[in-house]
């Protein structure tokens, strides 16, 4: 291929830029939606644990001890309790009562605790979304554990003197074992990589990637298809422009606008959500490679589509699995191996991984280097593919 002329590329870029700014509706979309999405996603994912879940409490055991448990349960921030009278029946009808869980304390529960045969507490919980049930049950279990600990202390305090006398006669080892067994055993978590456990820190690359992928792929996909639809592609092809000049000229304005959008999003997450950005330069490289890869994909779609409608349809079909399977919002490792293997083909997967390795794990290039290489490879393959496909339309 002969040398490409900068001024020819600039001509195409200028024209393409005019297309973007003349289309006021798309321009507004480009400038308003990304920060808006960032805010929405940011707030949507800020609270990781459920709080204030509406729940029903039916107490059929009116004793002092049960009342202590009820007081403890009412303090649990996970739930917003509605009390129902003891004679309430049909307690499993969660939907009918507009609650997500129902706790029943059966009559004689307190007594069963004293009798050496503690009755389990029926807890009805909505399992439809697969996550909530575990979280709610766990939270309630913790309240119950706390109550049990408190009750044990009450029991120990009220033991007759003889027991302690008897205890003193036991060998020291047994006494120590007993003390140990009586206290709560604990885990001391050392949370690394995202010490505040904030979801926004984790999901930032997902938000950037999602928005950028959506915009770049669809917009880019339309560019050549639009020229084909309006007949201007032939007009372009009888000029002295080379394919490379057309392709590069089309990329430049979208690259500039995408970079601007990334900047806006990053400033927003950095200052509004106080996400710390480690080594901005490396992140810039990660973003740039991801952009090139996405633009290349858009271009490839553009080259195989006859019309803009087709281009949009191709884009949507490509983007749908990407959003779900790329690990943008949930760890990829939780997915089955075959899906993980498929996900490796999506640029968004590598972008999110590299971004997190840099920003959360503070990892060195030896960890995320492979992702950069894959994205670079993706960009090269898509660009070359698009250029070859464009060559084919000439004939």
Partner 1 sequence: MTGPVISLRGLTKCYGRFEAVRDLTFDINAGTIFGFVGANGAGKTTTMRMLCGLTRPTRGSATIGGADVWRKRHAVRSKFGYVAQRFSLYRDLTVVENFRFFAGAHRVSSRKIEERINQVLSLIDLEAKRDAPAGSLSGGMRQLLSLGCAIIHDPPLLFLDEPTSGLDPVHRQQIWDLLYDFSNRGVTIFVTTHYMDEAERCTEVGFLARGILLAKATPRTLIHSFRVRLLEVNIEPVMPALVKLRDIPGVLGVSLRSGRLRVYSAEPERLVERWKTQWPFPDLQFKGERWVEPDMEDVFTAYSQGYDAMIKPIS
CB of 24 to partner 1, least distance (A): 11
Q: Can you tell me which of 87, 129, 186, 394 binds partner 1, judged by CB under 8 A?
A: 394
194 binds partner 1 (CB under 8 A): no
381 binds partner 1 (CB under 8 A): no
Q: Which residues, at least 6 apart from 367, have a Cβ–Cβ distance to it below 8 Å? A: 357, 361
Tally of CB atoms within 10 A around 367: 14
Site map for partner 1, 215-234, x if CB under 8 A? ---------------xxx-x
25 binds partner 1 (CB under 8 A): no
241 binds partner 1 (CB under 8 A): yes
Tally of CB atoms within 10 A around 68: 15
Nearest to 214 by CA among 27, 34, 364, 5: 34
CB of 230 to partner 1, least distance (A): 6
Task: Report CA dihedral (48, 346, 310, 379) to the nearest 10 degrees.
Answer: 130
Pick out residues in 242-301 that bind partner 1 (CB under 8 A). Answer: 242
Of 19-27, 146-154, 253-261, 278-286, which part binds partner 1 (CB under 8 A)? 19-27
Considering the complex, state which of residue 51 and residue 239 has its C-beta at the smaller distance from partner 1. Answer: 239
| Cα–Cα distance measured from residue 117 to residue 115, given in angstroms and rounded to the nearest whole number | 5
Q: Which pair of structure tokens corresponds to residue 214?
A: 């959506």
Considering the complex, state which of residue 11 and residue 340 has its C-beta at the smaller distance from partner 1. Answer: 11
CB of 26 to partner 1, least distance (A): 11
| Inter-residue contact 260 to 217 (CB < 8 Å) | no
Residues paired with 251 in a beta bridge: none
Nearest to 266 by CA among 200, 170, 213, 315: 200
DSSP type of residue 327: S
CB of 365 to partner 1, least distance (A): 40
Considering the complex, state which of residue 23 and residue 344 has its C-beta at the smaller distance from partner 1. Answer: 23
Considering the complex, state which of residue 22 and residue 196 has its C-beta at the smaller distance from partner 1. Answer: 22
Taking the mean position of all CA atoms in its chain, how far away is CA 315?
Answer: 22
Considering the complex, state which of residue 64 and residue 394 has its C-beta at the smaller distance from partner 1. Answer: 394
18 binds partner 1 (CB under 8 A): yes
237 binds partner 1 (CB under 8 A): yes
14 binds partner 1 (CB under 8 A): yes
Of 5-13, 27-35, 253-261, 290-298, which part binds partner 1 (CB under 8 A)? 5-13
| Cα–Cα distance measured from residue 242 to residue 84, given in angstroms and rounded to the nearest whole number | 77
Q: Which pair of structure tokens corresponds to residue 358?
A: 């840099």
Of 2-10, 82-90, 91-99, 250-258, which part binds partner 1 (CB under 8 A)? 2-10
Considering the complex, state which of residue 15 and residue 68 has its C-beta at the smaller distance from partner 1. Answer: 15
Q: With CB under 8 A, what is the number of residues at the site for partner 1? A: 27
Considering the complex, state which of residue 55 and residue 220 has its C-beta at the smaller distance from partner 1. Answer: 220
Positive or negative, the CA dihedral 18, 12, 380, 296 is positive
CB of 253 to partner 1, least distance (A): 13
236 binds partner 1 (CB under 8 A): yes
Q: What does the angle CA 119 – CA 122 – CA 127 come to, to the nearest 5 degrees? A: 145
| Start-end of H helices in the chain | 6-22, 24-44, 64-75, 109-114, 132-157, 161-168, 172-182, 199-230, 232-237, 243-271, 280-304, 308-325, 337-343, 347-359, 365-393
Considering the complex, state which of residue 180 and residue 240 has its C-beta at the smaller distance from partner 1. Answer: 240
Considering the complex, state which of residue 33 and residue 241 has its C-beta at the smaller distance from partner 1. Answer: 241
CB of 235 to partner 1, least distance (A): 5
Tally of CB atoms within 10 A around 245: 22
CB of 22 to partner 1, least distance (A): 4
Where residue 281 falls (left for φ over 0; alpha for ψ -120 to 50; beta otherwise) is alpha
115 binds partner 1 (CB under 8 A): no
Contacts with partner 1 by CB under 8 A lie at 2, 5, 7-8, 10-12, 14-15, 18-19, 22-23, 230-232, 234-242, 394-395
């Amino acid at each position: 291929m002969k040398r490409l002329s900068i001024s020819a590329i600039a001509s195409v870029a200028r024209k393409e830029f005019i297309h973007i700014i003349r289309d006021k509706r798309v321009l507004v979309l480009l400038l308003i939606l990304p920060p808006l999405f960032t805010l929405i996603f940011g707030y949507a994912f800020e609270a990781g644990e459920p709080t204030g879940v509406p729940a029903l409490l039916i107490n059929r055991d009116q004793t002092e001890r049960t009342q202590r448990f009820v007081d403890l349960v009412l303090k649990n921030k996970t739930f917003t309790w509605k009390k129902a009278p003891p004679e309430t029946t049909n307690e499993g009808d969660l939907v009918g009562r507009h609650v997500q869980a129902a706790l029943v304390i059966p009559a004689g529960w307190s007594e069963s605790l004293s009798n050496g045969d503690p009755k389990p507490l029926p807890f009805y919980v909505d399992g439809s979304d697969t996550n909530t049930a575990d979280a709610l049950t766990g939270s309630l279990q913790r309240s119950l554990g706390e109550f049990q600990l408190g009750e044990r202390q009450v029991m120990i305090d009220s033991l007759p003197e003889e027991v302690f006398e008897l205890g003193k006669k036991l060998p020291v080892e047994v006494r120590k074992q007993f003390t140990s067994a009586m206290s709560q055993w604990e885990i001391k978590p050392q949370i690394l990589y995202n010490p505040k456990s904030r979801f926004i820190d984790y999901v930032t690359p997902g938000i950037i990637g999602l928005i950028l992928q959506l915009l770049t792929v669809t917009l880019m996909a339309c560019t050549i298809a639009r020229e084909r639809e309006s007949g201007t592609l032939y007009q372009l092809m009888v000029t002295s422009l080379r394919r490379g000049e057309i392709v590069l000229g089309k990329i430049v304005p979208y690259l500039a606008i995408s970079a601007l959008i990334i900047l806006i999003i990053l400033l927003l997450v950095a200052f509004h959500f106080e996400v710390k950005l480690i080594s901005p330069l490396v992140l810039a490289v990660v973003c740039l490679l991801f952009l090139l890869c996405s633009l290349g994909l858009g271009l490839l779609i553009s080259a195989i589509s006859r019309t803009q409608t087709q281009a949009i349809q191709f884009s949507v079909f490509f983007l749908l699995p990407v959003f779900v399977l790329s690990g943008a919002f949930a760890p990829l490792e939780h997915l089955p191996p075959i899906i993980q293997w498929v996900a490796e083909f999506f640029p968004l997967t590598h972008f999110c991984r590299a971004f997190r390795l840099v920003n959360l794990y503070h990892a060195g290039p030896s960890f995320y280097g492979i992702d950069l290489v894959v994205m670079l490879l993706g960009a090269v393959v898509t660009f070359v593919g698009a250029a070859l496909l464009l060559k084919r339309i000439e004939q």
